[in-house]
């Protein structure tokens, strides 16, 4: 993958036409994506007055108007709601795994990152990227400049899979770095201590970011299709193991199911979108399906 066109499959881009990425919730000072905003905030440019109704925040009453008319009116401001998309890409060694006939998890995640970057920049919003393993290796702040896509693709090309990961520490670190609230999208196999990962995700939610977890896995990691005695290569400091898969399958599947369930439940409890992605899954179908579902849920809120 030496040029940016190789990341942007026309079929995938075509499937994303008519879709957009918007924040699911609107709060004071929060981002919504797409412009201009139909929502009224209290922090940017004055728009108009409206009459006070019981329950409104009295902090936004225009007391000068009240002194002249003896009526209560609120100041309203039209908020320019540029979406800020922070993307976090796991570049640890386990992301380099690929079963026969499939691209690696890292390659798959890079394609998702590129497609979402293209889409968000097309809707004239801003995107940034952090690449990490056990620490943040590269980080570029969100920008909506037209040149940003090539810059991100260059960063993706220069990001080899490394060694160990420490997602908990990385998430806590980045949650303090991201000053402006936005949408945080994480692309990882999540192979680390689940409670520490969930603690880091909660930190983002505490700072009122919206969070999307794109959980990227190889089908062999889910289905465990191995039949013959196999040398399982250790990654991230774990030694290689020669074993008979038939004796491991039941225990492995139980552990994997428990791990996935813990991550899914933790995301649900913290109002985090959880998006499972398999590397044998059509990228265009996976992304367009999620975005359409997300847009549908937003309309019904």
Whether residue 161 contacts residue 92, with contact meaning beta carbons closer than 8 Å, is answered with yes
Q: How far is CA 170 from the centre of its chain?
A: 14
Domain with CATH 3.40.50.410 in the chain: 4-26+83-299
Torsion of CA 111, 103, 200, 41, to 10 degrees: 20
Nearest Cα neighbor of 283 from 102, 150, 123 is 102
Nearest Cα neighbor of 40 from 87, 81, 75, 76 is 76
The DSSP bridge partners found for residue 45 are 78
Helix (H, G, I), strand (E, B) or coil at 90: strand
The pLDDT score that the predictor gives to residue 79 is 47
Average pLDDT, rounded, for the chain: 81
The pLDDT score that the predictor gives to residue 157 is 85
CATH for 4-26+83-299, among 3.20.20.150, 2.60.34.10, 3.30.930.10, 3.40.50.410? 3.40.50.410
274 token code pair: 């959880």
The CB-side HSE value for 96 (13 A sphere, CA atoms) comes to 15
DSSP letters spanning 175-230 = HHH--S--EEEEEE---S-HHHHHHHHHHHHHTT-EEEEEEEE-HHHHH----S-E
Cβ-based neighbour number of residue 179 at 10 Å: 8
Which residues, in sequence order, are CB contacts of 251 under 8 Å at separation 6+?
Answer: none
The pLDDT score that the predictor gives to residue 198 is 98
pLDDT < 50: residue spans in the chain: 1-2, 25-32, 37-44, 78-80, 300-301
Strands (E), the chain: 40-41, 45-51, 73-78, 84-90, 126-132, 136-143, 183-188, 210-217, 230-232, 241-243, 273-278
**Burial of 58 by CB count in 10 Å (0-12 exposed, 13-18 middle, 19+ buried)?**
exposed
The pTM of the full predicted model, rounded to 2 decimals, is 0.77
Whether residue 134 contacts residue 164, with contact meaning beta carbons closer than 8 Å, is answered with yes
The pLDDT score that the predictor gives to residue 75 is 72
Q: Are strands 73-78 and 183-188 parallel, antiparallel or unpaired?
A: unpaired
Give dist(CA 110, CA 7) in Å, integer. Answer: 8
33 token code pair: 């994506």
> CA-based diameter of the chain, in Å?
87
């Amino acid at each position: 993958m030496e040029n940016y066109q190789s990341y942007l499959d026309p079929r995938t881009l075509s499937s994303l036409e008519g879709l957009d990425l918007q924040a699911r919730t609107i709060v004071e000072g929060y981002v919504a994506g797409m412009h201009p905003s139909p929502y009224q905030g209290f922090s940017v440019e004055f728009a108009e007055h409206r009459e006070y109704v019981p329950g409104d925040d009295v902090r936004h009453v225009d007391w000068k108007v009240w002194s002249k008319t003896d009526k209560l009116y609120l100041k309203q401001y039209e908020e320019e709601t540029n979406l800020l998309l922070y993307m976090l890409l796991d570049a640890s060694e386990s992301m380099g795994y690929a079963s026969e006939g499939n691209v690696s998890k890292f390659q798959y995640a890079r394609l998702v990152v590129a497609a979402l970057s293209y889409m968000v920049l097309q809707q004239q919003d801003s995107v940034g990227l952090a690449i990490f393993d056990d620490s943040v290796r590269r980080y570029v702040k969100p920008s909506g400049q037209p040149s940003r896509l090539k810059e991100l693709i260059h960063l993706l090309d220069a990001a080899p899979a490394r060694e160990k990961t420490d997602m908990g520490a990385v998430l806590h670190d980045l949650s303090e770095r991201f000053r402006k609230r936005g949408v945080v999208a994480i692309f990882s196999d999540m192979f680390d201590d689940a409670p520490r990962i969930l603690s880091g995700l909660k930190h983002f939610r505490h700072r009122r970011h919206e969070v999307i977890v794109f959980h990227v896995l190889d089908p062999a990691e889910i289905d465990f299709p191995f039949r013959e005695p196999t040398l399982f290569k250790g990654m991230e400091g774990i030694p290689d193991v020669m074993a008979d898969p038939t004796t491991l399958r039941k225990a492995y599947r139980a552990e994997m199911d428990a791990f996935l369930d813990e991550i899914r439940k933790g995301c649900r409890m913290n109002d985090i979108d959880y998006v499972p992605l398999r590397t044998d899954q059509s990228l265009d179908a996976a992304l367009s399906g999620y975005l359409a579902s997300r847009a549908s849920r937003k309309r019904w809120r």
